[in-house]
Amino acid sequence: MNEEQRKQQAQINQEANFDRIKNTSSDDMISKYFQTNYEPQSPDIKKARKRRKEDVQFHYDFSIPEDVATVGKGKKFLIRTYGCQMNEHDTEVMAGILTEMGYESTSNTEDADIILLNTCAIRENAENKVFGEIGHLKPLKLEKPDLIIGVCGCMSQEESVVDRILKKHQHIDLIFGTHNIHRLPQLIKEALFGKEMIVEVWSKEGDVIENLPKVRKGKIKAWVNIMYGCDKFCTYCIVPMTRGKERSRRPEDIIQEVRHLVAQGYQEVTLLGQNVNAYGKDFEDIQYGLGDLMNDIHKIDIPRVRFTTSHPRDFDDRLIEVLAQGGNLLDHIHLPVQSGSTEILKKMNRKYSREDYLELVRKIRKAIPNATLTTDIIVGFPNETEEQFEETMTLMEEVGFEAAYTYIYSPREGTPAARKTDDVPEDVKKKRLYRLNELVNKQSAESMRKYDGQTVKVLVEGESKKDPDVLAGYTEKNKLVNFKGPKSSIGKIVEVEITEAKTWSLNGIMVENTVEVN
Ligand code: 5AD
Ligand code: SF4
């Protein structure tokens, strides 16, 4: 196709797009999409559980097809990311692919030629935010018919979401799933030159795609995927359905990526997975788990190594022994507990009791006496009693968590818990969350007070959001520090004397001449 033909085709597409948006939600259209390129699939726990035996395929041959290699030249992209670090990192991959296709990034919606919403399905309010944004984008699409709007991430793995977009939001051009990210070039081509909404959501989930390009958000800290998916099937959680089965990247690929980041000057890596403690359990040829991986990364010359997210059930002695070596393996452990009640944990299918969790905490503290623990907690799980909630409150104190992400239970379609009747009124759940948050704030403030007058090591990330004359960074234990210091310390690890402890952050002054040369 020459330039002239391309323009004509684009014109035809624009008109088709325009008609499509004006005449939204025809059932005929929907059935056509289902037949052509979308096979409806509800999150189905029975099917999901059966998948574990399937082989994992590794693909090392990613490349951008020649016919779309320059399609983005002179055009801009914007990706809006919702949800967890996994999504943040997927956005870095999509940004990498788009950049290789010639697109440049923009933060201005009006300037964008392609807008992708990388969505989160973990709670209902996350989904509501995305539908709000989808609605807001409609006038822009009507104004700019050749704008491509795509929905990807966890929500696109849900049948009900795809149905709703097909029925009510015909201004969306493209829906693709979490297993289809590497297909972005082909999908954009189809969206650019086709007339229909493109839906490609693979339920196949056995693969690991290596060598995908990435444009990372900064030059100081980097995410590194070590595994994908989750086989834990906590009864409240949609993730095993949206992210597929557990599959680990090969150690040599991860280590090579970390070495590459070191060569580029990165100071910190966070190893990422939905349940990193299950790392390596799917290898058939080698016995190699998270402890072994951390041990190998410990030997690499990168100042800081973190990992998230942990599941207490799989947190083994080997990992504790390796973490106890310290050095670049930081002693902040995020260990989601979800509830302090053994009965609720059982209903959540967490596969540990309150006592098991406390025993794990004891083991960690014995091996790593200075370890800082943070957690995730859900309140108002179906039929949670006042006594069971109190057990969460006492566990919070007993462990001495220094921070916690707290949530009200949100029923997710397709999960076992969502089928339960629930006798706990919403306002009771809200009150419980409020009480828990008061305690979390109190414990966080107490943990911060310990630093008053102390000197801490801070990896300086940049200017503070509120005041460009103030710098901001994080301590080894992930405490936010705002301090006065030279801009030349950005990207380096410096010592800061703490002068004021607040509830969620520390203020301080940089100790002269402490810039570590790495
Ligand atoms: N409702 C509320 N919170 C949830 N989480 C996961 N699923 C749900 C749900 N259905 C929380 C858990 C998890 C965190 C990432 O989100 O605490 O650790
Ligand atoms: Fe969801 Fe985490 Fe449980 Fe997996 S381990 S099902 S991601 S809460």
Residue to substitute in 120, 311, 407 for testing ligand 2 pocket (most ligand atoms within 8 angstroms of CB): 311
Residue to substitute in 86, 227, 232 for testing ligand 2 pocket (most ligand atoms within 8 angstroms of CB): 232
Nearest to 489 by CA among 505, 466, 508: 508
Average pLDDT over residues 198-224: 90
Tell whether ligand 2 has an atom less than 6 A from the beta carbon of residue 145. Answer: no
Atom of ligand 1 nearest to the CA of 84: 15
State yes or no: pLDDT of 403 exceeds 90. Answer: yes
Q: Which tokens in the block code for residue 8?
A: 């004509």
Q: Which tokens in the block code for residue 38?
A: 């979308």
Query: Which ligand lies nearest to the CA atom of residue 229 in the structure?
Result: 2
Residue that wins the pLDDT comparison between 20 and 429: 429
Positions of E strands within 366-449: 372-379, 403-408
d(CA 180, CA 116): 14
CA of 378 to the centre of ligand 2 (A): 12
The interaxial angle of helices 159-168 and 124-136, nearest 10 deg, is 20
Atom of ligand 1 nearest to the CA of 236: 10
DSSP track, 204-243: ---EEE-------S-SSEEEEE-EE------TT--HHHHH
- Structure confidence at residue 10 as a pLDDT band (50, 70, 90): very low
Question: For the chain, how many residues are written?
Answer: 518
Residue to substitute in 45, 122, 237, 349 for testing ligand 2 pocket (most ligand atoms within 8 angstroms of CB): 237
Which residue type, as a one-letter code, is found at position 493? Answer: I
254-312, pLDDT tens digit by residue? 999 999 999 999 999 999 999 999 999 999 999 999 999 999 999 999 999 999 999 99
In the predicted model, what is the mean pLDDT of the chain? Answer: 90
d(CA 391, CA 393): 5
Residue to substitute in 88, 339, 374, 378 for testing ligand 1 pocket (most ligand atoms within 8 angstroms of CB): 378
Positions of E strands within 351-428: 372-379, 403-408
Query: Which ligand lies nearest to the CA atom of residue 121 in the structure?
Result: 1
Q: Residue 211 to residues 58, 62, 64, 256, 333: CA-CA distances in angstroms? A: 11, 6, 12, 11, 29
Atom of ligand 2 nearest to the CA of 309: 2
Tell whether ligand 1 has an atom less than 6 A from the beta carbon of residue 412. Answer: yes
State yes or no: pLDDT of 12 exceeds 80. Answer: no
Residue nearest to ligand 2 atom 3, measured at CA: 234
Tell whether ligand 1 has an atom less than 6 A from the beta carbon of residue 417. Answer: no
pLDDT score, position 516: 53
Average pLDDT over residues 339-360: 98
- Structure confidence at residue 24 as a pLDDT band (50, 70, 90): very low
CA of 422 to the centre of ligand 1 (A): 17
452-501, pLDDT tens digit by residue? 999 999 999 999 988 888 999 999 999 999 999 999 999 999 999 999 99
pLDDT score, position 50: 67
State yes or no: pLDDT of 94 exceeds 60. Answer: yes
Residue nearest to ligand 2 atom 1, measured at CA: 237
CA of 315 to the centre of ligand 1 (A): 19
Burial of 69 (0-12, 13-18, 19+ CB in 10 A): middle
DSSP 8-class letter at 470:
S
DSSP track, 136-154: HTHHHHHH-TT-EEEEEEG
Atom of ligand 1 nearest to the CA of 408: 2
- Structure confidence at residue 196 as a pLDDT band (50, 70, 90): confident
Residue nearest to ligand 1 atom 17, measured at CA: 376
CA of 342 to the centre of ligand 2 (A): 17
- Structure confidence at residue 16 as a pLDDT band (50, 70, 90): very low
Percent of the chain at pLDDT exceeding 70: 88
Task: Output the furthest CA–CA distance in the chain (Å, rounded).
Answer: 72
Sign, CA dihedral 79-81-85-90, equals negative
pLDDT score, position 194: 84
d(CA 485, CA 506): 14
Residue that wins the pLDDT comparison between 37 and 56: 56
d(CA 351, CA 430): 27
Please write down the HEC assignment for all residues of 29-70.
HHHHHHHHHCCCCCCCHHHHHHHHHCCCEEECCCCCCHHHCC
- Interstrand relation of 480-484 and 471-475 (parallel, antiparallel or unpaired): antiparallel
CA of 205 to the centre of ligand 1 (A): 22
Q: What SS3 state is found at 167?
A: helix
Atom of ligand 2 nearest to the CA of 230: 4
Query: Which ligand lies nearest to the CA atom of residue 125 in the structure?
Result: 1
